[in-house]
Amino acid sequence: MRRAGDVSRRWEAGTSAEYKRMTPTTNVAGSLQTRTSCVTRGSHSPPRASTVDASTTASTNTTPPSVSPILTHFAGVPIPQLAAEFGTPLYVYDAAMIRQRARDLAPFDVTRFAQKACSNLSILRLMRDEGVLVDAVSAGEIARALAAGYAPSEKDHDDAAIAAGHHPAIVYTADVFDRAAIDTVIEHDLPVNCGSPDMIDQYGERCQALGRRHGVTLRINPGFGHGHSQKTNTGGEGSKHGVWHTEVADCVARAERWGLRVTGVHMHIGSGTDMSHLHKVGEALERIALEVGSSVLTISAGGGLSTPYRGDEPPIDVAGYYNTWNAVRERLASAFGHAVNLEIEPGRYLVAESGALLTEVRAVKKQGTLNYVLVDAGFNNLARPAMYGAYHPVSMCPAGSGQDKEGGSSATTADCPPPTADFVIAGPLCESGDVFTQKDGGIVEARPLPQPTIGDYLVIGGAGAYGYTMASNYNSKPLCAEVLIENGQPRLIRRAQTVDDLLAAEL
Ligand SMILES: Cc1ncc(COP(=O)(O)O)c(C=O)c1O
């Protein structure tokens, strides 16, 4: 069930004086519990309190994030405890943060999670629990959606049901069908969002042979785009994505040749897009939908909503964004004389802030004038900095802080020194680009950190989107484990690969 709402977060200082002052913060570093002054010895850390107020209508983003140089807990759990129990590197996710982000988008008729951002089955089940539907870009993602409980339905191809508000649970959306994908789509009779004219022909041919006269939606490239990096810009002629905006009439005719009809228009112009570009998409989509005509039952705003990785970006005005799209939908509904469904298809917005990559410090050294801290995670775990020069907030957790032998908090002020110097943060891979603090083009940067020592932890925040899903086995490194924390309880949601797993597939 969709619930509009907001999560108000606070970390309660508990009943004792152990917590002198805590900064309540919803944090892009991944729901990280921060302290601006340090904890004195002795108490169990209080579980973080997250309350969901289902009565408030979702409007804007919540508290602007802030990044503390020192973090001791993640979602209420001591970081050293997580590291001891599950090992490092380790992806951790805060379920409450994901739920909050899903509820932010409740005004849209459908939030369709672009699972490529974070496709662990437990995350998909959580999305489903929040009433979020899903897209898939491959046979593997279809299999994940099915395994998480999303089910295709006959109504997915029934225009009357769709006009009355039925929303397909899974939509295949891509620019191509590889052979496995089209076989899987046909097997499960899934709705398709076509990003190239050839997809229409390939799908149409298979449908015609089976006597299926389905609707298809078109992903249109409006001729412009924007992303946080040129590599995530999915519009304009420099992008391979979507049906070119002048080809719409041809695509409608192609669909009709196969007995199909165009029932929806979709635009996704990039990932990490700025709001001024996103607002322009509505106008472009409206034009195209009018060109297609009254067979259009659904419009999709795509994804692209950005995430405040640096902590100083203004919160996204979700309500304003919804209003822009709702106005487009209403104008189209009045032009067509029937209701039009409004979908949004975010990946990053739903999960980026919920996740962090925990990693252990394994070496600290100087290279000329630069200080380096080398950790046990690399771009095999989190590729975004190496791939896009993407910025992730990084904080330090002193070894042993946040818990004592009995599991209580044992951090002292000595455990939480202020930043002492700037450090380049790099991984263990045999590759110069294996640096978490780099700009686009591979320019290495240094970040202020307290002096790290071997065994301390670094917490790389904002890692919930395009983190684990872009991980690799480079240097024969097994994929690491993932843990989901809900109500203060960490749960392993994917075991780490072993080297034997790696070798098992090789002949
Ligand atoms: C078709 C489509 N929809 C949605 C998304 C999700 O984008 P984001 O994570 O920026 O919301 C993507 C990612 O690029 C995409 O290609």
Q: 142: closest CA among 177, 111, 99, 109? A: 177
Predicted local confidence at residue 416, as pLDDT: 57
Q: Tokens at residue 202, please? A: 């390939």
CATH of the domain at 284: 3.20.20.10
Same domain, 130 and 58: no
Q: Does residue 470 contact residue 101 with C-beta atoms inside 8 Å?
A: no
Nearest ligand 1 atom to alpha carbon 273 = 10
- On whether residue 102 sits in a domain, the answer given is no
Residue with CA closest to ligand 1 atom 13: 271
Which of 217, 228, 268, 470 gets mutated to test ligand 1 (max ligand atoms within 8 A of its CB)? 268
Same domain, 142 and 287: yes
- On whether residue 57 sits in a domain, the answer given is yes
347 in ligand 1 pocket by Cβ < 6 Å?
Answer: yes
Distances in whole angstroms, Cα of residue 434 to Cα of each of 80, 203, 384: 24, 41, 11
Ligand 1: distance of its center to the CA of 270 in Å? 7
Query: What is d(CA 423, CA 431) in angstroms, rounded to the nearest whole number?
Result: 18
Predicted local confidence at residue 86, as pLDDT: 98
- SS3 category, 462: coil
Predicted local confidence at residue 402, as pLDDT: 64
Q: Tokens at residue 262, please? A: 């165009």
Same domain, 335 and 408: no
Query: What is d(CA 387, CA 390) in angstroms, rounded to the nearest whole number?
Result: 7
- On whether residue 230 sits in a domain, the answer given is yes
Same domain, 222 and 325: yes
Rg (CA), the chain: 24
Question: Of the residues 280, 315, 345, which one is the last residue of a structural domain?
Answer: 345
Predicted local confidence at residue 230, as pLDDT: 77
What one-character DSSP code corresponds to residue 47? P
- SS3 category, 492: strand
Q: Does the annotation flag 259 for ligand binding?
A: no
Distances in whole angstroms, Cα of residue 443 to Cα of each of 18, 232, 374, 424, 471: 42, 19, 17, 11, 22
Q: Does the annotation flag 384 for ligand binding?
A: yes
**Catalytically annotated residue among 38, 207, 430, 480:** 430
Same domain, 311 and 432: no
Query: What is d(CA 74, CA 32) in angstroms, rounded to the nearest whole number?
Result: 5
346 in ligand 1 pocket by Cβ < 6 Å?
Answer: yes
Same domain, 59 and 134: no
Same domain, 205 and 59: no
136 in ligand 1 pocket by Cβ < 6 Å?
Answer: no
Q: Tokens at residue 143, please? A: 């299999």
- SS3 category, 341: strand
Is 430 marked active-site?
A: yes
Same domain, 230 and 339: yes
Burial class (CB in 10 A: 0-12, 13-18, 19+), 159: middle
Task: Tell me, rounded to whole angstroms, the distance of Cα 176 from its chain centroid.
Answer: 23
Same domain, 123 and 75: no
Ligand 1: distance of its center to the CA of 348 in Å? 8
- On whether residue 370 sits in a domain, the answer given is yes
The one-letter amino acid at 81: Q
Same domain, 294 and 405: no
CATH of the domain at 78: 2.40.37.10
Predicted local confidence at residue 278, as pLDDT: 73
Torsion sign over Cα 238, 243, 245, 250: positive
Q: Does the annotation flag 304 for ligand binding?
A: yes
Query: What is d(CA 357, CA 470) in angstroms, rounded to the nearest whole number?
Result: 13
242 in ligand 1 pocket by Cβ < 6 Å?
Answer: no
266 in ligand 1 pocket by Cβ < 6 Å?
Answer: no
Same domain, 224 and 201: yes
48 in ligand 1 pocket by Cβ < 6 Å?
Answer: no
345 in ligand 1 pocket by Cβ < 6 Å?
Answer: yes
Torsion sign over Cα 127, 129, 131, 135: positive
482: β partners: 91, 494
- On whether residue 99 sits in a domain, the answer given is no
Q: Does the annotation flag 91 for ligand binding?
A: no
Question: Of the residues 345, 376, 403, which one is the last residue of a structural domain?
Answer: 345
Q: Residue 491's domain spans which residues?
A: 6-93+353-504
391 in ligand 1 pocket by Cβ < 6 Å?
Answer: no
Q: Does the annotation flag 388 for ligand binding?
A: yes
268 in ligand 1 pocket by Cβ < 6 Å?
Answer: yes
Same domain, 385 and 485: yes
- pLDDT (tens, 9 = 90+) of the chain, 507 residues, equals 333 332 222 222 222 222 222 222 334 443 444 333 332 222 222 222 222 222 222 333 333 345 678 999 999 999 999 999 999 999 999 999 999 999 999 999 999 999 999 999 999 999 999 999 999 999 999 999 999 999 999 999 999 999 999 999 999 999 999 999 999 999 999 999 999 999 999 999 999 999 999 999 999 999 877 777 777 777 778 888 999 999 999 999 999 999 999 999 999 887 667 777 777 889 999 999 999 999 999 999 999 998 888 877 788 889 989 999 999 999 999 999 999 999 999 999 999 999 999 999 999 999 999 999 999 999 999 999 999 999 999 999 999 776 554 444 444 334 556 778 999 999 999 999 999 999 988 999 999 999 999 999 999 999 999 999 999 999 999 999 999 999 999 999 999 999 999 999 999
Nearest ligand 1 atom to alpha carbon 241 = 16
Ligand 1: distance of its center to the CA of 437 in Å? 24
Nearest ligand 1 atom to alpha carbon 352 = 9
- On whether residue 1 sits in a domain, the answer given is no
Q: Does the annotation flag 18 for ligand binding?
A: no
477 in ligand 1 pocket by Cβ < 6 Å?
Answer: no
Nearest ligand 1 atom to alpha carbon 304 = 10
Q: 285: closest CA among 251, 324, 238? A: 324
- At a CB cut-off of 8 Å and minimum separation 6, what does 100 contact? 5, 6, 7, 26, 50, 52, 62
Within 13 Å of residue 389, how many CA atoms lie on the same side as its CB? Answer: 13
Query: What is d(CA 33, CA 174) in angstroms, rounded to the nearest whole number?
Result: 38
Predicted local confidence at residue 403, as pLDDT: 57
Ligand 1: distance of its center to the CA of 484 in Å? 23
- On whether residue 100 sits in a domain, the answer given is no
Q: Does the annotation flag 346 for ligand binding?
A: yes
Q: Looking at the 3D structure of the chain, how many domains does it have?
A: 2
Sheet arrangement for strand 71-74: 22-23, 32-35, 71-74, 77-78
Question: Of the residues 345, 374, 407, which one is the last residue of a structural domain?
Answer: 345
Which residue is it, tokens 């719409």? 248
- SS3 category, 475: helix
89 φ, ψ to 5°?
-60, 155
- On whether residue 402 sits in a domain, the answer given is yes
Q: Does residue 273 contact residue 306 with C-beta atoms inside 8 Å?
A: yes
Nearest ligand 1 atom to alpha carbon 347 = 9
Residue with CA closest to ligand 1 atom 12: 303
Model confidence pTM above 0.75: yes
Q: Tokens at residue 54, please? A: 């289902």
